[in-house]
Amino acid sequence: MAEVIRVDSIGVEFSINQHYFHAVDDVSFHIHEGETLGLVGESGSGKSVTSLAIVRLLAKSARVTGTVMYKGRNLLDMTVQEMRQIRGGEISMIFQEPMTSLNPVYKIGAQISETLHLHQRLSKREAHDQVLGMLKKVGIARPEEIMNGYPYQLSGGMRQRVMIAIAMICNPSLLIADEPTTALDVTIQAQILRLMKELSRDYGTSVLLITHDLGVVAEMCDRVAVMYAGQIVEQGTVDDIFFATHHPYTQGLLKAIPKIDVKIKERLQPIDGNVPAITRMPKGCRFSSRCPYVMERCRSEAPAFVDIGERHYSRCWLSAAEGLEK
């Protein structure tokens, strides 16, 4: 299958008191047509910054390096005009906060058709019909009425459906979903995830799903990239990540999930410590300050991102040693 997007070694730097610090460092991944890639990590691991760097919506003060190849063209080299054509038309995005992501003073119908009008020449009638059809597809009852309503009249789940309608109406090749269900309650979460899955399948849309919820990953994704402190530390298929876990950080994440079949006396095992601030990154491996298997080498030298077989990658000295043995 063809690649829709290939992110190659992108880095994002922010300036803090005139010094530049890497919020995202050497992040690479690609997504095939119709594939869903999960980008997993704690808060502050650089997931959202990575996604905003791809669509170039970071603040002007951010420095972005590397390449983002979309259908053979580097998004980071495009002019502002070309980039506007991409946004909403070819790559679209839904956000974490459905309550605030819609403009409170415009009608729902107008907000959805805006994307259409920005990318296609359509009559009002045609646009209206398309919006109506899209609202039906995202499972909104009484779509005619909702089109003439305002965001404040809708619940969070309904608003996220509207956001999905806005994102999908131009039939984009790639949908970036930044924690799309985090702000919703659990039953609504399941509905929204199912809706996204159906739509991406029907439209053949590739999805970059950003989440901190490994349950969501298991449900939705084909492949997973685990991020820690601005780097991808492990990448592979969902099976690789869940059943052939390699990186100590991923192992830690999996151990920290509550399971229903475990005895009450067994306690959850959190990963000790916090994600280091970008102003004080450890010199060697970024996880070395919290890793249970930390070695002398980890503190001084940063490990490379190595293939440990069948496109399963890990950024760890333990994996590197194993890779050499093979």
Which positions lie near other proteins, rule CB under 8 A? Answer: 55, 57, 84-89, 92-93, 95, 97, 100-107, 114-115, 118-119, 150, 152, 163, 166
Length of the chain: 326
Measured from the CB atom, the residue of 119 and 315 that comes closer to other proteins is 119
- Asked if 116 and 167 touch (Cβ cutoff 8 Å), the reply is no
Tokens of 80: 């502002």
Tokens of 76: 């980071």
Measured from the CB atom, the residue of 119 and 247 that comes closer to other proteins is 119
CB of 179 to other proteins, least distance (A): 13
CB of 316 to other proteins, least distance (A): 35
CB of 225 to other proteins, least distance (A): 22
Measured from the CB atom, the residue of 54 and 214 that comes closer to other proteins is 54
Measured from the CB atom, the residue of 105 and 186 that comes closer to other proteins is 105
CB atoms within 10 A of CB 2: 7
% helix / strand / coil in the chain, to the nearest 5? 40, 25, 40
**Which residues, at least 6 apart from 234, have a Cβ–Cβ distance to it below 8 Å?**
225, 226, 241, 245, 246, 247, 249, 250, 312, 313, 314, 315
Measured from the CB atom, the residue of 71 and 297 that comes closer to other proteins is 71
CB of 86 to other proteins, least distance (A): 7
Tokens of 180: 């799309």
CB of 103 to other proteins, least distance (A): 4
CB of 164 to other proteins, least distance (A): 12
Q: Which residue has the tokens 């972005």?
A: 64
Tokens of 167: 């994102």
Q: Which residue has the tokens 């415009």?
A: 106
Measured from the CB atom, the residue of 100 and 274 that comes closer to other proteins is 100
CA neighbours closer than 13 Å in the CB half-sphere of residue 296:
0
CB atoms within 10 A of CB 192: 23
- Asked if 201 and 151 touch (Cβ cutoff 8 Å), the reply is no
- Asked if 13 and 21 touch (Cβ cutoff 8 Å), the reply is yes
Measured from the CB atom, the residue of 24 and 177 that comes closer to other proteins is 177
CB of 94 to other proteins, least distance (A): 9
CB of 57 to other proteins, least distance (A): 6
Q: Which residue has the tokens 């002007």?
A: 60
